[in-house]
Amino acid sequence: PASLSALPYFDEPWSSWAHFVAANAILDTAFTVMVEACVNGKVEVLRHRLRKMLTEERYHFLHGRSWLRSGIEKGPLDEAWKQAIEWFGPPDGDTAGLHKEGKLSMGPAELKARLEERVETKAPAIKADWNGWDPIRRRTRPGAVDDLTFGMLRGLEEKRFAPATTEKQA
């Protein structure tokens, strides 16, 4: 699990509905906004291969936004915003460079603005410590997905709860 490039939001199991809604509304939409930047950039293979993903993500977005509108706790929401902004990268980082080269249609500031536009709310005032930012894992703090969550991601944990199968009779 330590080698996964996951956001800190996924390091521990979520303890509330608000954590799920914040991940669904903010983080999933942040990923979609980055996919948009790829689709609208100049890298031909990304333009074609990722376009369908945007269509599928529409349903995730509608689900997350509707629950976000119903209101959730501030803590999980602010944390999701912080991690989305960190995931986009520092103002002078690789995302900004790819935008400058035309490979992405948006840089970090534009990605944040697009995310705010999509979820129809402004991000809280966030001060990222870019000195500790890991450009590979796209996060500012150490950590890793916990073993239980990792097992669920791989489908191992669900197998424990699946009904036992009986052998086919001849």
Q: With contact defined as beta carbons under 8 Å apart, do 68 and 25 qualify?
A: yes
The least confident of 18-27, 39-48, 50-59 is: 50-59
Structure tokens at 80: 């999701």
pLDDT at 86 over 50: yes
| 140, 128 contact by CB (below 8 A) | yes
Q: Which of 40, 11, 31 is nearest to 88 (CA)?
A: 31
Does residue 59 form part of some domain?
A: yes
Instruction: Specify if 35 maps to a domain.
Output: yes
For 73-83, letters b (16+ CB in 10 Å) and e give: eeebbbbbbbb
Rounded average pLDDT over 60-71: 89
- Find the mean pLDDT for residues 149-168: 64
- The per-residue pLDDT for 1 is 67
7 falls within a domain: no
Q: Over 70: is that where the pLDDT of 85 sits?
A: yes
What is the spatial distance between Cα 119 and Cα 117, in angstroms, rounded to a whole number? 6
What is the rounded distance in angstroms from the CA atom of residue 5 to the CA atom of residue 156?
A: 20
Q: 10 Å Cβ neighbour count for 159? A: 9
- Total domains in the chain come to 1
Q: Is residue 168 part of a domain?
A: no
Buried b (16+ CB within 10 A) or exposed e, 119-147: bebebeeeebeeeebeeebbbbeeebbee
Find the domain containing 133 and state its range.
13-161
The pTM of the full predicted model, rounded to 2 decimals, is 0.83
Q: What pLDDT score does 107 carry?
A: 98
Band of residue 157 on the pLDDT scale cut at 50, 70, 90: low
Instruction: pLDDT band for 165, please (50, 70, 90 cuts).
Output: low
Task: Tell me whether residue 3 is in a domain.
Answer: no
In three-state secondary structure terms, 70 is: coil
Residue 168 pLDDT greater than 60, yes or no: no
pLDDT digits (tens, 9 = 90+) for 1-36: 677 788 888 888 888 999 999 999 999 999 999 999
- Lowest-confidence pick of 36-45, 47-56, 148-157: 148-157
The predicted pLDDT at position 170 comes to: 47
Residues 96-155 pLDDT 10s: 999 999 999 999 999 999 999 999 999 999 888 999 999 988 999 888 888 877 777 777
* Structural domain contains residue 6: no
Alpha helices in the chain (DSSP H): 17-22, 28-39, 44-49, 51-69, 74-88, 94-100, 108-119, 147-153, 156-161
Contacts of 143 (CB under 8 A, 6+ apart): 8, 11
